[in-house]
Amino acid sequence: MDAIWILPALPLLGAVVLLLLGRRSDRWGHLLGTATAALSFAFAVALFVGMLGRSVDERAVSDTLFRWVPVAELQVDFGFRLDQLSMCFVLLITGVGTLIHLYAVGYMAEDPDRRKFFGYLNLFLAAMLLLVTADNFLGLYVGWEGVGLASYLLIGFWQHKPSAATAAKKAFVVNRVGDIGLMVALMIMFSSFRSVSFADVFAGTETATNGTLTALGFVLLLAACGKSAQVPLQSWLGDAMEGPTPVSALIHAATMVTAGVYLIVRSGPIFESAPAAQTAVVVVGAVTLLFGAIIGCAKDDIKKALAASTMSQIGYMFLAAGLGPAGYTFAIMLLLAHGFFKAGLFLGAGSVMHGMNDEVDMRKYGALRTVMPITFVTFGLGYLAIIGVPPFSGFFAKDKIIEVAFAAGGVQGAILGAVTLIGAGLTAFYMTRVMLMTFFGKARWEPDVHPHESPSIMTAPMIVLAVGSVAAGALFTVGGSLTHWLEPVVGEAEDAHAIPAWVVTPLALTVVAVGVAVACRRYATKPIPAAAPVPVSALTAAARRDLYGDAVNEALLMRPGAQLTQAAERFDDVAIAGATRAVAGSVAILSTRIRNVQTGYVRSYALTMLAGTAVLVAMMVAVMVW
């Protein structure tokens, strides 16, 4: 139980071997990458079983490897902590990550750089595991930046494609904006608490000023928005689909986007002591929930539609986490359920692309259920889970978040409840649209496309994830299992309901049914054109352009930044370089004038010396007389 470091060490070892050996490991690199992920998962299961065997008070364990930063007052250990919260993430990361590795063996079979791809996947897992098992914010920050590096390498893996290279740079830059928040948070922690360990920082919240805690909460939220693609730092997520599909599944289901939710929940004591920052978390979640759902309704690219749905589902989690102890458990519940059904949906999308010559436009799909039955069934189960149909996993988690949103009470509760219901209806609409355009209707394939089912190495992980999409919800909720499991870390949630559950559940299911019906009426009863129809409404046009997220970021961040850079350049040229040139010119002029005094004639020098002597004698006589 004390050897927590083995969890990230195994995939890190795989990454080091695969990336350092290079082409010498091409033949077996994918096997080593998958094996290290699987071993990490097996070790995680062993740790979980060991944790179950302990009493509740003794389940959290720590492991300090060495003194990391011994600098004056800043003393930081390189240590790990495994508690009930981090264990949820560890099992998700290693379990779903292993299935994605296995799927990638088949998906990347023809890629000449498959070995390097698995090295990057291993690096991704290692960084994320460090992030969720670190016992202090500095260790978390190292994992945080490692995840950013790995995502850059994987999104731009096919760098011969200009779109992939651009998407990787975009993800890297946008995430750096968010990472500034975590960097500033570390500075505030050291300045205020003289420590960056979880225990010291959380204990310090009892005596810190409200201004300090509010500032700390806002910069942590900025960091979380970057990693989890929440408004206003959401623009990178859709473009990240340029990476291979296993990367998309790993980013959206088990690693990167979950990091922001982990940071918010882990930092719960900070946000609970800073109401303004906590409210900001709720607002960001509510806005992004609708933001992503609206975008998802207008996407014809199957992966980008799923990417928009991730943005929306993470918005649900942020909203719940922003409601404090009442919502922490349900945010994690949806995160775990989302790990199953979203990974299954992305792998299903990759299976469709595999059979359709890498085509991503759903308008060129149709009738695939007959030629890809396993993909159809597994994708369909993920679809039922994400729209919240009972008894699938998404129903249990999302229904609870809707209840908690209404339970906020007053105008806030009414608004949040309405937002979560609208989001549920929109989710049902765009996911039904994806199902109908992909698997139903008439075949709209290109003449040279011959769809076929994917090999078993790809379908096997999809089947396992589909089972998880069905069973995970009940597993989390039976007897309040997940609530009791997380209670020692996130606190006890008050069982308050502004609207009874027996009212909320039928209401939510009705909204979902309406969303499904509207999508069926539009996409099942009418032929789907080969190209998106025009003209369109202003909202549809905006949704197709990601609600102008790039334009807003360009106006608010890029252009002011460029103007500031140009102003700094002009200041440097005029003031700094100008002053330097002025000094140099003055010295040159002065040197020229002084040089003219040196004539080279001895008689001139003698006359000058005589004149100087006369002046000195005259001054001395004048002083004596005076």
- Widest distance between CA atoms in the chain: 123
HSE-up (13 A, CA, CB side) for residue 265: 33
Percent of the chain with pLDDT over 70: 99
Which tokens belong to 148? 């950013």
Question: What b/e readout covers 318-341, taking b as 16+ CB neighbours within 10 angstroms?
Answer: bbbbbbbebbbbbbbbbbbbbbbb
Query: Is the separation of the CB atoms in 97 and 125 below 8 Å?
Result: yes
In the predicted structure, residue 598 carries a pLDDT above the cut 80? no
Mean pLDDT confidence for 21-26: 92
In the predicted structure, residue 419 carries a pLDDT above the cut 90? yes
pLDDT digit string, tens, across residues 192-230: 999 999 999 999 999 999 999 999 999 999 999 999 999
DSSP calls for 539-603: HHHHHHTGGGHHHHHIIIIIHHHHHHHHHHHHHIIIIIHHHHHHHHHHHHHHHHHHHHH----HH
Query: Is the separation of the CB atoms in 401 and 331 below 8 Å?
Result: yes
| Lowest-confidence segment of 56-70, 192-206, 380-394, 417-431 by average pLDDT | 56-70
Q: Is 611 exposed, middle or buried (0-12, 13-18, 19+ CB in 10 A)?
A: exposed
pLDDT class of 14 with cuts at 50, 70, 90: very high
pLDDT class of 365 with cuts at 50, 70, 90: very high
Q: What is the pLDDT of residue 112?
A: 93
Sequence-ordered list of residues with C-beta below 8 angstroms from that of 615, at least 6 positions apart, any chain: none
Q: What is the pLDDT of residue 139?
A: 96
In the predicted structure, residue 500 carries a pLDDT above the cut 80? no
Q: What is the pLDDT of residue 272?
A: 95
Place of tokens 């006359």: 607
Place of tokens 């995502």: 151
| Cα 516 to Cα 384, 387, 425, 520, 521, distances in angstroms | 11, 9, 8, 6, 9
Q: What is the pLDDT of residue 496?
A: 62
Q: What is the pLDDT of residue 495?
A: 66
Eight-class DSSP state of 370: T
pLDDT class of 481 with cuts at 50, 70, 90: confident
CA distance linking residue 444 with residue 576, whole number of Å: 64
Q: Is 93 exposed, middle or buried (0-12, 13-18, 19+ CB in 10 A)?
A: buried
Query: Is the separation of the CB atoms in 274 and 214 below 8 Å?
Result: yes
pLDDT class of 431 with cuts at 50, 70, 90: very high
Query: Is the separation of the CB atoms in 383 and 346 below 8 Å?
Result: no
pLDDT class of 478 with cuts at 50, 70, 90: low
| Lowest-confidence segment of 115-124, 380-389, 498-507 by average pLDDT | 498-507
Q: What is the pLDDT of residue 479?
A: 61
- Nearest CA to 506 out of 402, 601, 413 is that of 402
Mean pLDDT confidence for 1-5: 82
Quick count: other Cβ atoms within 10 Å of Cβ 564? 10
Eight-class DSSP state of 452: -
pTM over 0.85: yes
Sequence-ordered list of residues with C-beta below 8 angstroms from that of 357, at least 6 positions apart, any chain: 446, 448, 449
Q: What is the pLDDT of residue 48?
A: 94
pLDDT class of 471 with cuts at 50, 70, 90: confident
pLDDT digit string, tens, across residues 255-286: 899 999 999 999 999 999 999 999 999 999 99
In the predicted structure, residue 72 carries a pLDDT above the cut 90? no
Q: What is the pLDDT of residue 501?
A: 75
- Residue 78 dihedral angles phi and psi, to the nearest 5°: -85, 95
Quick count: other Cβ atoms within 10 Å of Cβ 413? 17
pLDDT class of 601 with cuts at 50, 70, 90: confident
In the predicted structure, residue 304 carries a pLDDT above the cut 70? yes
Mean pLDDT confidence for 46-61: 92
For residue 77, the cross-strand partners are 67
Whether the upstream peptide bond of residue 244 has omega within 30° of 0, thus cis, is no
In the predicted structure, residue 497 carries a pLDDT above the cut 70? no
pLDDT class of 503 with cuts at 50, 70, 90: confident
Query: Is the separation of the CB atoms in 296 and 433 below 8 Å?
Result: no
In the predicted structure, residue 246 carries a pLDDT above the cut 70? yes
Mean pLDDT confidence for 152-179: 94
| Lowest-confidence segment of 72-76, 386-390, 424-428, 613-617 by average pLDDT | 72-76
Which tokens belong to 178? 């968010």
| Lowest-confidence segment of 28-32, 442-446, 534-538 by average pLDDT | 534-538
In the predicted structure, residue 323 carries a pLDDT above the cut 80? yes
Helix (H) or strand (E) holding 74: strand 74-82
Q: Where does residue 409 fall: left (phi above 0), alpha (psi -120 to 50 degrees), or beta otherwise?
A: left
CA distance linking residue 406 with residue 496, whole number of Å: 10
| Lowest-confidence segment of 50-59, 284-293, 368-377 by average pLDDT | 50-59
CA distance linking residue 304 with residue 75, whole number of Å: 45
pLDDT digit string, tens, across residues 562-595: 888 899 988 888 888 888 888 998 988 888 887 7
Which tokens belong to 578? 């100008």
